[in-house]
Amino acid sequence: MKLFIKFYWLIYPILIVVFMLISDQLYKTDNFILKAGICAVLAFILSPRKKITQTQKGKIKQITWLFLKKPIVID
């Protein structure tokens, strides 16, 4: 988990590259801007989010992701 907390921001660009590679195999299009836009939107939807939540103890930073059951608390 400590590695995920340090490098969670890298998931977004990695997802863009993965979706670009997948879309390159599935759809043969020459319009790079359209392909990059679709891949960026998909990566944004599936990337982790950083939220600041107000609790009784104060503000807590959390990382939430579609594939995690519980949010990860950042110290």
- The pLDDT of residue 72 is 85
- Residue 48: the pLDDT is 86
CA distance 19 to 25: 10
**C-alpha distance across the termini of the chain, in Å:** 13
If you count them, how many residues does the chain have?
Answer: 75
What is the predicted pLDDT for the residue at 4?
72
Residue type, 40: A
Q: pLDDT value at position 5?
A: 73
Type of residue at 23: S
- Chain center to CA of 50: 10
C-alpha to C-alpha distance for 29 and 31, rounded to whole angstroms: 6
Provide the pLDDT for residue 6: 79
d(CA 47, CA 4): 13
pLDDT score recorded for residue 39 = 92
Give pLDDT, residue 59.
92
Low-confidence ranges of the chain (pLDDT < 70): 1
- Looking at residue 20, what is its pLDDT? 92
